[in-house]
Amino acid sequence: MTTATAADYGWIRDFSSPFRYALESGYTLTLVRGVPPEQLLALAGAEPRGVCEGADELIERHQELLEESEGQDGPYVLAGACAVPGEEGDWALVLALGGDSWPPGFMETLSAGTRAVSHSSNGGKPMEFFHWYENGELRTHFEWPRVRGGSTPDELNSLICEVGLGLTDEEISRADRKAAVFALAERLTGVRVTAELLALAEYRTAAVPEEPVEDWKGIIIDITDAHGVRTYVHIENDG
């Protein structure tokens, strides 16, 4: 298991960091095990916008989307998805620029038969969230880690402390909360997000709609873990 802490993610605040724009504009970073990036975006009902090379081009395309949407009802969120190695196989990493990105209930559906972790921020507003889903169930979520929700709100308590976040107001006030949630996500996924990864990744891009899309027909999750145990789940849309 990885031993990541907040100290491993201090780079996110560097002036030259490819993540600085996300901190300023708002973002959602999602990691899902065993789901191909293109399938994830299709399931979200996102409008494909082609492939781009690296975080700089992803940012340019988000700015273009904002210009296109000016005076209209969006969408304002651009998602860039790529495959990355992690615990028990490949994961989809999705960096969505523009704030909280997914339709209601999407993460529960997406995580059926697998694990999904996300963290997000509304940019300049003091709203930052962390979510851990397991097999369609929201296990732990929080904005301020002292107040947690989900079906197992206390299961991550030891990890929250180990990554340098803490559970008391005093501990939290001393922590770099954003760097710490990056480390917490790595503890749960085995995915090390680096400045180089974000800067050089080839992203499949898509504009995320503001309203849920109901016309998807289904998704197949087929995962074989490091011990050769296979999990096969076919989720059909009954809507």
Give the chain's end-to-end CA distance (angstroms, integer). 39
With a cut of 50, say whether residue 216 has pLDDT above it. Answer: no
Average pLDDT for residues 176-194, to the nearest whole number? 97
* Span 79-100, average pLDDT: 94
Higher-confidence residue of 167 and 101: namely 167
Rank 67-71, 119-123, 187-191, 215-219 by mean pLDDT and report only the highest: 187-191
Span 112-127, average pLDDT: 87
Residue 126's pLDDT band (cuts 50, 70, 90) = low
- Answer yes or no: is pLDDT of 141 > 60: yes
pLDDT average, residue stretch 98-111: 86
The mean of the pLDDT values for the chain is 87
**pLDDT band at residue 227 using 50, 70 and 90 as cut-offs:** low
pLDDT score at 209: 79
